[in-house]
Amino acid sequence: MKNNYFEVRRFSFLSFLGIVLFLGLCFSPAQAETLTGQVVKIADGDTLTVLDASKQQHRIRLTGIDAPERKQAFGTVSRQHLAGLVFGRTVMVEWHKRDRYQRILGKVLMDGQDANLEQIRAGLAWHYKQYGKDQQPVDRVVYAEAEDAARLEGVGLWRDPAPIPPWNFRRK
């Protein structure tokens, strides 16, 4: 009887594990592709251009963040901070889709450091929760926590008592 009990428990656990893995595959972003190249242009705090080994340029929109627009408070500072992190450096971009402007939506990594996350930590970008489904679940959590910490510390744009999110600024 004991042996049968453990067989049923093992089967239940394996069934549960299979369901969790299946759901994880169904509801997580598609398998990421990678692009490696040198950053040759910084458009703003969340958009840059990478030149690959075949000398092809790729516009990259940093996934999971939304930085102030150029004409918005902290727009120039956000752009300069991103430039300080990645301009002229070789980066790896993890991505799985393009936006409506055909920009690659990706996470920019240099020496293992996540530039998207660094923009949030510096208080120079919002975690763009509206497009959270485009991020890995762990990134959604880490980015949200980084924004909360930046707000609490009052760094970057969080020094402003009522910062205007870029998505509201663009509507005007």
User: Has 59 been annotated as catalytic?
Assistant: no
User: Has 140 been annotated as catalytic?
Assistant: no
Within 8 A by CB and 6+ apart from 113, the residues are 85
User: Has 69 been annotated as catalytic?
Assistant: yes
Within 8 A by CB and 6+ apart from 6, the residues are none
Q: Which two tokens stand for residue 134?
A: 């485009």
Specify the DSSP element, H or E, that contains 13.
Answer: helix 2-27
Q: Which of 61, 79, 121, 147 is catalytic?
A: 61
DSSP 92-121: EEEEEEE-TT--EEEEEEETTEEHHHHHHH
Nearest to 49 by CA among 89, 97, 76: 89
Q: Which of 7, 9, 10, 69 is catalytic?
A: 69
DSSP structure class, residue 159: G
Burial class (CB in 10 A: 0-12, 13-18, 19+), 68: buried
Q: Which of 79, 94, 103, 118 is catalytic?
A: 103
Which residues participate in catalysis according to the annotation? 61, 69, 103
